[in-house]
Structure formats: structure tokens, C-alpha cells
């Protein structure tokens, strides 16, 4: 707010300085004109110049009203003969400067109408001056370097007004284009953030709820016959629920704009959490064989993407295949992370559980989006010998950005 006030104050100072400069130029032209002298007294030149230039100093207040005042003032003093023959175009310089601001701040229709009105008024005033006032003026004491002629005056004013309007229109177009681009980028950023948060919540909740559903089913079936196994299933459900709540709090913290210094941030999952992820899948009846080759520790963002891809792939196995054998291989060499998750398919020839077409749905979409962020390659589909394979390659730079 304070900076904006300083900016407006600086612009007002500049406008006042320009108004003073234009007033001095107009008064000098009236006192020592290139053509015939005005019949008005010399002291009136300063008053006329001040009245003509005042709109420049206040043009940012109400540009359209000030444009009407500037044009009317220039037209009036021209018809009244208080201007310099051969330099009448100076009388309309304030109108030119105000017209530029109008074109830069209002609609093109309004500014074009202002241009037409100002140009018509200037042409009419000049024709009246040269038809009625100019013949009665005293001849100049010395030959003029710039002969007084109405075509020159009209041409000069016409060019100045048109150029001012065109420049102001271009400035306004550039501002509008920049504003639209900024809004588009902001909307795109919001959309990307929403998609990222939705993907995080889907991965966290989908994996945990699949495991909880499997364990709850087991506990329900063996509660009476094997209470120890039921209690073990409930313990897994309790542990999974707690860890899921912690991860959900971490994701929701991304939505907080004010931050809470009293709340410790929950660390994002990474490569070190893959064994625990495999253990959760094993507790749901999937024989997971995990192999991690890590030549160099990947950046945190890459590590979390690797974790999420493996998490979603195992979630699909638990949800749609059930008890089976699954091989998870993660290879990180400092330049890229290669992930492969292969399962043997349902045992005893049982078809996959319905839903999402086997392994389809939002899970594959989320894994593909994570891979695309790094410009990598993603492939998922059934294997000829049975089962399903998910493969992803994430190239990255040392700073964690896409390679």
C-alpha cells in the first residue's frame, strides 16, 4: 500500500513537471510566434498557457473528463485567437498527452470515440481561426521559418493525436495480455496443486484402506475360531490407521496458508520406508520380494515419487489380485530411478477382483503423472505368462528436477 502511494505520488510529480514545461513552450510560442502575432496582450500568454497545460497535471484523476476539458480548452482558445499562428498544434499538445492516457486505460471503443471527437474539434477550430481570425492579425515583423498554413497545422495535430491514441492502445493491449497470462498461470498453478494433493491423498488413502479392508475381512472370518489371528489383524489395522492419519495431516498441511509453528511437520516418505511398505503388503497376504539398489541417495522429491509409485502398484496388487507373489525392484544410480513391480497374478487361476479393469483406474493415472513430471517413461499392462507388470523410469538432475 505504501509503495503504491509513492508510485502515484511520483507520477503526479512527473505530470506536474511536464505541465510546467508545456506551459512554458506554449507561452513562448504565443509571445514570439512564428507567424502573425495574437491581438491579446503579452501577459495573457502566460494565463492561456497555464489554463491549457493544467489538464496534464490532473490527467490521472479522471482521464475521460480531463480529456473533454483539454480538448474544449484548446478549441476555445484557438477560436478566440489567443494562440500563435503557425504553432497552433502546441495548443493541442495537452490533449495529445491526455488522449494517450485515455487510450491506455479505457476501452478501445471509448478511446477511438475520443480520438474522433478531438480530431474533429481541432480541425474545426483551425479552419475557423484561419478563416475569421488570421486575416485580421498584424503581419509578422520578420519572415517566418515555418509559414502559417492550415493544412500544416491540421496535419501535425492529426499525426500527434493518432500516434498518441495508437501507442496508448498498444500499451493497454500489452497490459491486458500480461494480466490474462498471469491469471492463466495462476489458475494453472492452482490446478496443478490440486491435482498433486489429490494424487497424494489417493495414494495414501487407497493403499491404507485396501490393507485395512483385507485385514478387517480376515478378522471378521477368524474372530471366533482363531482369536489370536483376529487380534493380530486388528493390530495391523490400528497401526495402519495411525500412520495413515499422520500422512493425511502432512498432506493437508500443504493447504495451510498461515502455518502452525506449534505443530511439527511429518517427514515425507522416501526410500527408507520401502521395507515397511512391503511389510504392509505381506500382512495382507502378498509375498513381496523387495530389492533396492541405491548407488546414490536420490533427492527427497524423487524418493517420495518412487515411494508413491511402489505404494500404488502394491495397492493394486492387494486390491485386485489378492494373495499372490510380487517382485519389487528399485534401482537408483544418481541419474535416474528405475522401478519395476511384477506380480504372478491370482493363484489357482482365479480371475482378478472386479474394479478398474484389473489394475486400471486412478492408480495408473497417478503413477503415469508422477513419471511424466520427470519426463520419464511409464508402462503398465498384463504379462503374457500371467500377472501384471508396472515399470517406471524417472530421470532427474542432482537438484531433484527433471533431467
Cα separation, 308 vs 369, in Å, equals 11
Q: What is the DSSP letter of 106?
A: S
**Residue partners of 29: CB distance under 8 A and separation at least 6:** 84, 87, 90
Q: Read off the C-alpha cell for 228.
A: 489370536
Q: Grid coordinates 477382483 are at which residue?
A: 353
**Residue partners of 98: CB distance under 8 A and separation at least 6:** 55, 56, 59, 63, 66, 67, 70
Q: Spell 319-345 as b/e; 16+ CB within 10 A means b.
A: bbbbebbbbbbbebeeebbbbbbbbbb
- Per-residue pLDDT band for 16 (boundaries 50, 70, 90) equals confident
- Residue 325, Cα to own-chain centre: how many angstroms? 47
Cα separation, 108 vs 98, in Å, equals 15
Q: What is the pLDDT of residue 10?
A: 72
More confident site: 286 or 242? 286
- In this structure, the strands spanning 388-395 and 377-382 are antiparallel
Q: What is the pLDDT of residue 331?
A: 92
More confident site: 147 or 394? 394
pLDDT over 70 for what percent of the chain? 73
Query: SS3 for 143?
Result: coil
Q: Which secondary structure element, helix H or strand E, spans residue 7, and what is its range?
A: helix 2-31
pTM of the model as a whole: 0.53
- Per-residue pLDDT band for 378 (boundaries 50, 70, 90) equals very high
pLDDT, tens digit (0-9, with 9 covering 90-100), for 144-169? 555 567 788 888 899 999 999 999 99
CA atoms within 13 A on the CB side of 24: 5
Provide mean pLDDT across the span 223-241: 70
Q: What is the pLDDT of residue 333?
A: 87
Q: What is the pLDDT of residue 358?
A: 45
Residues β-bridged to residue 390? 341, 380
Q: Report residue 283: phi and psi, to 5°.
A: -65, -20
Q: Is it the case that residue 1 has pLDDT exceeding 50?
A: no
Q: What is the pLDDT of residue 261?
A: 44
More confident site: 87 or 64? 64
pLDDT, tens digit (0-9, with 9 covering 90-100), for 282-320? 877 788 999 999 888 888 888 888 988 898 888 888 777
Q: What is the pLDDT of residue 240?
A: 67
Cα separation, 263 vs 251, in Å, equals 14
Domain ranges (residues) in the chain: 2-135+147-184, 285-403
Q: Which of 264, 212, 220 is closest to 238 using CA atoms?
A: 212
Q: Grid coordinates 485515455 are at which residue?
A: 102
Query: SS3 for 224?
Result: coil
Cα separation, 66 vs 106, in Å, equals 13
Q: What is the pLDDT of residue 340?
A: 94
Cα separation, 68 vs 179, in Å, equals 29
Cα separation, 99 vs 105, in Å, equals 10
Burial class (CB in 10 A: 0-12, 13-18, 19+), 356: middle
Residues β-bridged to residue 326? 288, 343
Q: Grid coordinates 531433484 are at which residue?
A: 400
Q: Report residue 294: phi and psi, to 5°.
A: -125, 95
More confident site: 142 or 21? 21
User: Residue ranges of the alpha helices (H) in 284-403?
Assistant: 300-320, 362-373
Cα separation, 64 vs 47, in Å, equals 24
pLDDT, tens digit (0-9, with 9 covering 90-100), for 347-374? 765 555 554 344 455 678 878 888 888 8
Burial class (CB in 10 A: 0-12, 13-18, 19+), 84: buried
More confident site: 33 or 117? 117
Q: What is the pLDDT of residue 215?
A: 66
Burial class (CB in 10 A: 0-12, 13-18, 19+), 282: middle
Q: Report residue 392: phi and psi, to 5°.
A: -140, 145
Q: Report residue 324: phi and psi, to 5°.
A: -165, -175
Q: Grid coordinates 497555464 are at which residue?
A: 50
Q: Which CATH architecture has domain 285-403?
A: 2-Layer Sandwich (3.30)
- Per-residue pLDDT band for 262 (boundaries 50, 70, 90) equals very low
Cα separation, 209 vs 199, in Å, equals 15
Q: Read off the C-alpha cell for 33.
A: 510566434
Amino acid at each position: 500500500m505504501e509503495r503504491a502511494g509513492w508510485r502515484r505520488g511520483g507520477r503526479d510529480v512527473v505530470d506536474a513537471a511536464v505541465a510546467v514545461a508545456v506551459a512554458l513552450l506554449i507561452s513562448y510560442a504565443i509571445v514570439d510566434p512564428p507567424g502573425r502575432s495574437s491581438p491579446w496582450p503579452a501577459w495573457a500568454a502566460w494565463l492561456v498557457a497555464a489554463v491549457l497545460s493544467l489538464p496534464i497535471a490532473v490527467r490521472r484523476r479522471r482521464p475521460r473528463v480531463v480529456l473533454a476539458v483539454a480538448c474544449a480548452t484548446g478549441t476555445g482558445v484557438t477560436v478566440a485567437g489567443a494562440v500563435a499562428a503557425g504553432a497552433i498544434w502546441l495548443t493541442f499538445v495537452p490533449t495529445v498527452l491526455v488522449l494517450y492516457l485515455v487510450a491506455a486505460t479505457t476501452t478501445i471503443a471509448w478511446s477511438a470515440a475520443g480520438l474522433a471527437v478531438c480530431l474533429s474539434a481541432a480541425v474545426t477550430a483551425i479552419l475557423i481561426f484561419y478563416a475569421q481570425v488570421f486575416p485580421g492579425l498584424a503581419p509578422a515583423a520578420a519572415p517566418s521559418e515555418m509559414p502559417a498554413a492550415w493544412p500544416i497545422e491540421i496535419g501535425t495535430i492529426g499525426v500527434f493525436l493518432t500516434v498518441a491514441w495508437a501507442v496508448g492502445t498498444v500499451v493497454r493491449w500489452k497490459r491486458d495480455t500480461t494480466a490474462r497470462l498471469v491469471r492463466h498461470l495462476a489458475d494453472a498453478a492452482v490446478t496443478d496443486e490440486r491435482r498433486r494433493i489429490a494424487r497424494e491423498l489417493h495414494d495414501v488413502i487407497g493403499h491404507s484402506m485396501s490393507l485395512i479392508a483385507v485385514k478387517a475381512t480376515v478378522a471378521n472370518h477368524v474372530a471366533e475360531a482363531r482369536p489370536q489371528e483376529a487380534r493380530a489383524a486388528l493390530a495391523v489395522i490400528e497401526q495402519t490407521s495411525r500412520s495413515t492419519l499422520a500422512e493425511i495431516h502432512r498432506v493437508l498441511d500443504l493447504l495451510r496458508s498461515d502455518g502452525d509453528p506449534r505443530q511439527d511437520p511429518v517427514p515425507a516418505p522416501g526410500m527408507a520406508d520401502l521395507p515397511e511398505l512391503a511389510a504392509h503388503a505381506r500382512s495382507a497376504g502378498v509375498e513381496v520380494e523387495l530389492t533396492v539398489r541405491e548407488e546414490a541417495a536420490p533427492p527427497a522429491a524423487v524418493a517420495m515419487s518412487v515411494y508413491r509409485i511402489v505404494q500404488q502398484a502394491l495397492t493394486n496388487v492387494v486390491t485386485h489380485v489378492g494373495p499372490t507373489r510380487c517382485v519389487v525392484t528399485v534401482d537408483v544410480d544418481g541419474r535416474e530411478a528405475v522401478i519395476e513391480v511384477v506380480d504372478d497374478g491370482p493363484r489357482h487361476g482365479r480371475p482378478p477382483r472386479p474394479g478398474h479393469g484389473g489394475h486400471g483406474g486412478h492408480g495408473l493415472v497417478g503413477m503415469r503423472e508422477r513419471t511424466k513430471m520427470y519426463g520419464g517413461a511409464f508402462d503398465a499392462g498384463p504379462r503374457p505368462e500371467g500377472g501384471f507388470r508396472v515399470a517406471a523410469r524417472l530421470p532427474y538432475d542432482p537438484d531433484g528436477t527433471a533431467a
